[in-house]
Amino acid sequence: MKVLLKLGMVLSLALGLGACSQNNSGEDHLARIKKDNVLKVGLEGDWQPFGYEDADGNLVGYDVEVAQAIAKHLGVEIEIIPTAWDGLLQGLESGVFDIVVNGVDVTEERQKTFDFSTPYAYDHAVLIVREDNTEIKTFEDLNGKTTANSTGSTYMEIGASYGAEVKPVDTLAETLNLVEIGQADATINANTSYIDYMKNEGGPFKVVTQTEEATAYAIPLKKGADNATLLNEINACIEAMQKDGSLAELSNKYFGEDLTK
């Protein structure tokens, strides 16, 4: 199966192209994907271990391989379009992407706009501070403090809900850098990403607490009947990967443990 990558795509241009791709043929979304023989997938591409470039410049990661498995299940090629987080759901809504596979949290607010697949991984949000910080021990301690988080993320919303002033940035590395140099008191991020970052980069940080409930990661699609058959096929693929153990195998490969249950 051929994998097509469009690195550095400008979202505003992509939005225009996406709008032109809509048609009135009467076919549903899955039929159009099969007709075009390509599944367009949006993901960040710089969020390790979900999607990132390896030493040879190849796009790899848990979400990348899940997306590839879905395309294979559908019998089509895959076009992965790396895009900043704050443009992914916008691009999905505008038709730039067929689906987004990027560790997207299932929230009540997002469910108003998107339909979600069966969850394909679970995670916890962790509160991270400098290792010499003794003031912040709970989420409640964020009141009046500053956090650094990815623009438009649920982690940003968590910080604000506890009374923190949130500084929006693009990547996990940037959030941790602001904490390290003292321009932010804390950051809230996915535990899996933080563990991976510390394994590869390290730094003067510590986790002081985590959310009680696990976050479910699922694949969003535009809400509506047009995506009903596509959603069914995505769920069938995820469920097949759960049954044959391949999803757990991917989780162990990239996270070091099975986070699929």
Domains of the chain by start residue, with CATH: 3-121+217-255 (3.40.190.10), 125-210 (3.40.190.10)
At 219 the three-state DSSP class reads: coil
pLDDT recorded at residue 150: 87
pLDDT value at 113 more than 90? yes
Spatial CB neighbours of 101, under 8 Å, sequence gap ≥ 6: 41, 42, 43, 63, 64, 66, 67, 70, 219
pLDDT recorded at residue 14: 40
Beta bridge pairs of residue 206: 129
pLDDT band per the 50, 70, 90 thresholds, residue 19: very low
Per-residue pLDDT averaged across 71-94, rounded? Answer: 96
126 close to 209: Cβ distance less than 8 angstroms: yes
- Please state, for a pLDDT cut of 70, what percent of the chain lies above it: 90
Answer with the residue of higher pLDDT: 46 or 80: 80
Identify the DSSP state of 256. S
CA-to-CA separations, 127 to 22, 141, 175, 246, in angstroms, rounded: 42, 11, 12, 31
pLDDT recorded at residue 26: 81
pLDDT recorded at residue 62: 98
Bridge-based pairing state of the strands 205-210 and 125-130: antiparallel
CA-based R_g, the chain, Å: 19
User: pTM of the full predicted structure?
Assistant: 0.82
Spatial CB neighbours of 62, under 8 Å, sequence gap ≥ 6: 49, 50, 51, 121, 250, 251, 253, 254, 255
Q: Which of 190, 213, 211 is nearest to 49 (CA)?
A: 190
User: Which letter, b or e, does each residue of 176-201 get, where b requires 16 or more Cβ atoms within 10 Å of its Cβ?
Assistant: bbbbeeeebbbbbbbbbbbbbbeeee
